[in-house]
């Protein structure tokens, strides 16, 4: 299976995604200004914060006995960590703030943080600490570090004195009790080991440990050997027959059964196995030279020949038999070659029977051997369970006594160590701390808010808003903006676009034949391109005579597209009929300038003839049937045989018929009309129609069996950079400078507007 190819880097897709942000230029500018403005507001209204960095000298005096249970006795290597934890503790900071009267005597940690937000301690070297303080007032930053040193010393002295007095009394009493319990536990352990004979139990239990495994293996093997013996008895009809007297077929059967068993159980040469004596089974333990010789057999090579010889003999026999059949066609039975083959076959049979004798003898020896072994093992089961039970009970009891003794020993050692620490450290001054002065003091110019950092944060916030908000807008935008998006969600190809054009220009269906005829026009070329796709994609009947134009929702440009498609068809020289099938809101009469009477509604009601309903236009090849007055029940007639018969008449008179129908979603007639047309053009308004509506509309048409020519993206603004990048070949500039005709260059939107104004003035 071929591995999937990796997609190559598409610079066009990257540029298209980047250009999507261009249309949010104003939003990006606003969000950038808000980010800068937020930083400016914070700078104006933030409370100033002052900072001081001070140096504190620290010297630790170690104790002869050290323990982490008494942190004050640790060496200088661990002293700085302990001091920093205590020095920057909440209790120390709160008490220092109270003594400096920065807060009330009953103040909480939250109130202290409001006045002194930052207190941090870093180690400079083995004997110096750097204390950084940030406070709201200049006085606080100048004096707070020194007050912290004094407060730490006061708390250290009070804590050690309280701890020492209580610990000495409590540790001495507990140590004496623990020594007594440890001695008692040792005596119990020695007595139990002596009385219960623990060493003898361990030896006996180890000796019998493999008994269950041997018993299960031996019992299972005997069962399999008994089953094999039954099968052998069935082969020989339950009689003991010598191998030499058996027919060859039975010899081969027995050899197959025994060889299968031999693959699972092999006897090695030199192995000693037991076999029955003349009086029955051999005893478990032989008690004399004669008994030992009678009960045991040493396996010899002749007893354990490998299985390959009989299989080779059987194969040689088949070869000899085949050879005999071939020679029988040429020679009589008395021929020398035939006699030689007969002798060879007889010798082969004797060899096979000899092999069977070896396997039989081996199987019988093994069977008796394992019977004796099973009896011996079963006789030891009771001893095994008894020894195991006694050993488990003794082991559990011994472990409990030993665990209890170890617990008391460990507790006694730990307590003795703590008592020694407290005793030796009683009169030691373990920490010396002095405030040496400020290394950095900013009590006039605040450190916060910092102008540089605030500017950087404001810029980052502005960039984040300018890029993040448009990204969210793009992600939340469910409308269709490109044909590629529509093709991905619907699976229907996009066949063209309709650029955003002034209404009076795009709706001028009866435009001069000169426009777009010999002089290219970018707008009309769009409709010609759509026309080409329709003609090249014939529908159900194999042609594209009747084309239906619809959309998912109202106001998406379907009427405009239908009118211009009619213009495009008639410009090819074929007679074209444009029918307004939107009997509720149709507006083809206003777009083309023809009277709305009698119209399609009266034609369906039978109140006028086809000749009266069809309206002529300024273009000789284009006729229009307008909507007519809104009448009750006409929409039902549109999906019945009445309209189908009318359409059959129109097909005979016109080369192309374009139906302007209502939207698909929410209305029923469009889905029903698809059965009488050759195909459907689906119009989507760019950046307005939700993609979900497009998918739902396409689904309804597909369920009804409609043939879809493709999707047309209408009202696409080519002035946007992203749209121009994707569809530049639809723009006026695409045609400029590429004409071979001596006529004037292609008319753009301004040329069309001037022509319309001239018509209106006339």
Q: Distance between CA 135 and CA 112 in Å, rounded?
A: 10
On the question of a cis peptide bond just before residue 690, with omega within 30 degrees of 0, the verdict is: no
| Higher local confidence (pLDDT), 69 or 568 | 568
Counted domains in the chain: 3
Q: Quick one: pLDDT at residue 289?
A: 39
User: Do the domain assignments include residue 124?
Assistant: no
**Which residues fall within 8 angstroms of residue 101, CB to CB, at 6 or more apart?**
none
User: Based on the domain organization, do 506 and 599 belong to the same domain?
Assistant: yes
Ranking 108-117, 179-188, 496-505 by mean pLDDT, the lowest is 179-188
Residue 735 has pLDDT above 70, yes or no: no
User: Do the domain assignments include residue 186?
Assistant: no
Domain boundary among 459, 476, 493: 476
Q: Distance between CA 508 and CA 531 in Å, rounded?
A: 18
User: Do the domain assignments include residue 139?
Assistant: no
| Higher local confidence (pLDDT), 112 or 75 | 112
Q: Quick one: pLDDT at residue 367?
A: 77
Copy the structure tokens of residue 598: 């009698």
User: Do the domain assignments include residue 37?
Assistant: yes
User: Based on the domain organization, do 571 and 630 belong to the same domain?
Assistant: yes
Ranking 147-161, 567-581, 620-634 by mean pLDDT, the lowest is 147-161
Q: Quick one: pLDDT at residue 578?
A: 94
Q: Quick one: pLDDT at residue 470?
A: 74
User: Based on the domain organization, do 527 and 472 belong to the same domain?
Assistant: no
Task: Label residues 689-725 b or e (16+ Cβ within 10 Å = b).
Answer: bebebbeebbebbeeeebbbbbbbbbbbebebebbbe
Helix axes 336-379, 248-264, angle to 10 degrees: 40
Q: Do the Cβ atoms of 490 and 720 come closer than 8 Å?
A: no
Cβ neighbour number for residue 731 with a 10 Å cutoff = 16
Q: Distance between CA 686 and CA 54 in Å, rounded?
A: 67
Residue 23 has pLDDT above 80, yes or no: no
Q: 715 φ, ψ to 5°? A: 55, 40
Residue 127: pLDDT band (50, 70, 90) is confident
Q: Distance between CA 624 and CA 566 in Å, rounded?
A: 9
Summarised one tens digit per residue, pLDDT across range 693-702 is 999 999 999 9
Domain boundary among 461, 476, 491: 476
- How confident is the model over 135-148, as a mean pLDDT? 88
User: Based on the domain organization, do 458 and 531 belong to the same domain?
Assistant: no
The pTM for the full model equals: 0.47
Q: Quick one: pLDDT at residue 561?
A: 93
The position carrying tokens 């709160």 is 94
User: Based on the domain organization, do 487 and 470 belong to the same domain?
Assistant: no
Q: Name the average pLDDT for the chain.
A: 76
Domain boundary among 476, 495, 524: 476
Query: Which CATH number characterizes residue 567's domain?
Result: 3.40.50.300
Q: Distance between CA 218 and CA 380 in Å, rounded?
A: 14
Distances (CA, A) of 387 to 209, 287, 330, 376, 609: 10, 27, 80, 17, 117
User: Based on the domain organization, do 657 and 572 belong to the same domain?
Assistant: yes
Q: Quick one: pLDDT at residue 518?
A: 45
Residue 139 has pLDDT above 70, yes or no: yes
Residue 593 has pLDDT above 70, yes or no: yes
User: Based on the domain organization, do 355 and 496 belong to the same domain?
Assistant: no
Residue 330 has pLDDT above 80, yes or no: yes
* Max Cα-Cα span within the chain: 145
- How confident is the model over 451-458, as a mean pLDDT? 76
Summarised one tens digit per residue, pLDDT across range 212-264 is 777 787 778 778 877 777 777 655 555 566 666 777 777 777 777 777 777 66
User: Based on the domain organization, do 712 and 611 belong to the same domain?
Assistant: yes
Q: Which of 59-63, 376-380, 525-529 has the highest mean pLDDT?
A: 525-529
Residue 334: pLDDT band (50, 70, 90) is confident
Residue ranges making up the domain that contains 753: 483-761
User: Do the domain assignments include residue 345?
Assistant: yes
User: Do the domain assignments include residue 628?
Assistant: yes
Beta bridge partners of 248: none
Distances (CA, A) of 289 to 274, 285, 293, 369: 15, 12, 6, 19
User: Based on the domain organization, do 370 and 487 belong to the same domain?
Assistant: no
User: Based on the domain organization, do 301 and 322 belong to the same domain?
Assistant: yes
User: Based on the domain organization, do 457 and 575 belong to the same domain?
Assistant: no
Q: Quick one: pLDDT at residue 225?
A: 79
Summarised one tens digit per residue, pLDDT across range 621-661 is 999 999 999 888 788 888 888 899 999 999 999 999 999 99
Q: Quick one: pLDDT at residue 744?
A: 38
User: Based on the domain organization, do 553 and 695 belong to the same domain?
Assistant: yes
Q: Quick one: pLDDT at residue 603?
A: 92
Residue 580 has pLDDT above 90, yes or no: yes
Residue 678: pLDDT band (50, 70, 90) is very high
């Amino acid at each position: 299976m071929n591995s999937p190819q990796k997609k190559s880097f598409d610079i066009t897709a990257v540029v298209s995604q980047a250009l999507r942000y261009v249309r949010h230029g104003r939003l990006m500018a606003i969000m950038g200004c808000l980010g800068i403005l937020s930083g400016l507001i914070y700078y104006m209204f933030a409370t100033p914060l002052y900072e001081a960095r001070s140096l504190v000298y620290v010297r630790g005096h170690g104790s002869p006995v050290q323990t982490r249970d008494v942190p004050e006795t640790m060496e200088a290597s661990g002293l700085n960590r302990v001091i920093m934890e205590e020095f920057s503790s909440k209790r120390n900071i709160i008490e220092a703030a109270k003594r400096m009267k920065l807060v009330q005597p009953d103040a909480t940690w939250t109130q202290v943080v409001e006045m002194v937000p930052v207190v941090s301690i870093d180690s400079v070297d083995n004997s110096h600490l750097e204390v950084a303080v940030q406070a709201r007032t200049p006085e606080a930053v100048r004096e707070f570090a020194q007050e912290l040193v004094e407060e730490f010393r006061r708390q250290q002295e009070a804590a050690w004195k309280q701890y020492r007095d209580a610990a000495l009394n409590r540790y001495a009493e507990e140590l004496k009790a623990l020594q007594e319990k440890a001695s008692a536990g040792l005596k119990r352990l020695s007595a139990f080991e002596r009385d219960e004979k623990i060493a003898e139990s361990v030896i006996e239990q180890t000796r019998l440990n493999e008994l269950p495994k041997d018993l299960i293996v031996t019992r299972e093997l005997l069962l399999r050997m008994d089953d094999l013996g039954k099968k052998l008895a069935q082969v020989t009809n339950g009689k003991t027959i010598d191998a030499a007297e058996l027919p060859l077929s039975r010899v081969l059967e027995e050899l197959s059964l025994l060889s299968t068993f031999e693959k699972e159980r092999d006897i090695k040469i030199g192995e000693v196995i037991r076999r029955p004596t003349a009086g029955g089974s051999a005893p478990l333990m032989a008690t004399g030279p004669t008994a030992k010789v009678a009960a045991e057999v040493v396996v010899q090579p002749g007893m354990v020949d490998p299985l390959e010889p009989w299989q080779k003999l059987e194969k040689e026999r088949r070869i000899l038999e085949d050879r005999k059949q071939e020679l029988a066609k040429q020679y009589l039975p008395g021929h020398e070659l035939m006699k030689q083959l007969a002798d060879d076959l007889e010798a082969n049979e004797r060899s096979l029977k000899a092999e069977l004798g070896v396997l039989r003898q081996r199987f019988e020896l093994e069977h008796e051997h394992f019977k004796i072994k099973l009896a011996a093992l079963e006789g030891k089961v009771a001893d095994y369970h008894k020894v195991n039970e006694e050993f488990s009970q003794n082991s559990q009891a011994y472990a409990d006594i030993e665990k209890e003794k170890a617990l008391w020993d460990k507790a006694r050692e730990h307590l003795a160590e703590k008592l020694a620490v407290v005793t030796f450290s009683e009169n030691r001054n373990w920490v010396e701390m002095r405030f040496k002065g400020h290394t950095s003091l900013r009590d006039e110019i605040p450190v916060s808010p910092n102008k540089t950092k605030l500017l950087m944060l404001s810029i980052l916030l502005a960039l984040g808003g300018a890029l993040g908000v448009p990204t969210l807008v793009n992600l939340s935008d469910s409308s269709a903006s490109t044909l590629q998006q529509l093709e991905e969600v619907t699976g229907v190809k996009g066949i063209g676009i309709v650029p955003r054009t002034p209404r009076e220009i795009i709706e001028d269906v009866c435009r001069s034949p000169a426009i777009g005829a010999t002089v290219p026009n970018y707008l009309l070329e769009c409709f010609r391109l759509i026309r080409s796709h329709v003609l090249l994609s014939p529908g159900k009947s194999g042609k594209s005579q009747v084309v239906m134009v619809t959309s998912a929702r109202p106001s998406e440009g379907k009427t405009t597209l239908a009118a211009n498609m009619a213009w495009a068809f008639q410009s090819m020289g074929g007679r074209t009929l444009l029918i307004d099938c939107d009997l509720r809101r149709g507006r083809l009469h206003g777009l083309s300038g023809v009277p709305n009477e009698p119209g399609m509604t009266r034609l369906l009601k039978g109140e006028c003839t086809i000749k009266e309903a069809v309206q002529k236009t300024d273009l000789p090849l284009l006729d229009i049937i307008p909507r007519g007055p809104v009448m009750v029940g006409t929409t039902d007639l549109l999906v019945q045989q009445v309209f189908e018969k009318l359409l059959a008449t129109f097909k005979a008179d016109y080369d192309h018929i374009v139906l302007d129908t209502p939207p698909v979603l929410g209305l029923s007639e469009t889905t029903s009309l698809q059965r009488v047309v050759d195909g459907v053009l689906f119009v989507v308004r760019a950046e307005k129609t939700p993609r979900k509506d497009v998918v739902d509309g396409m689904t309804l048409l597909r369920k009804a069996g409609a043939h879809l020519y493709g999707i047309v993206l209408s009202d696409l603004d080519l002035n946007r950079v992203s749209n121009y990048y994707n569809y530049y070949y639809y723009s006026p500039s695409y045609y400029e400078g590429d004409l071979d005709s001596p006529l004037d260059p292609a008319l753009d939107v301004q040329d069309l507007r001037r022509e319309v104004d001239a018509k209106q003035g006339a």
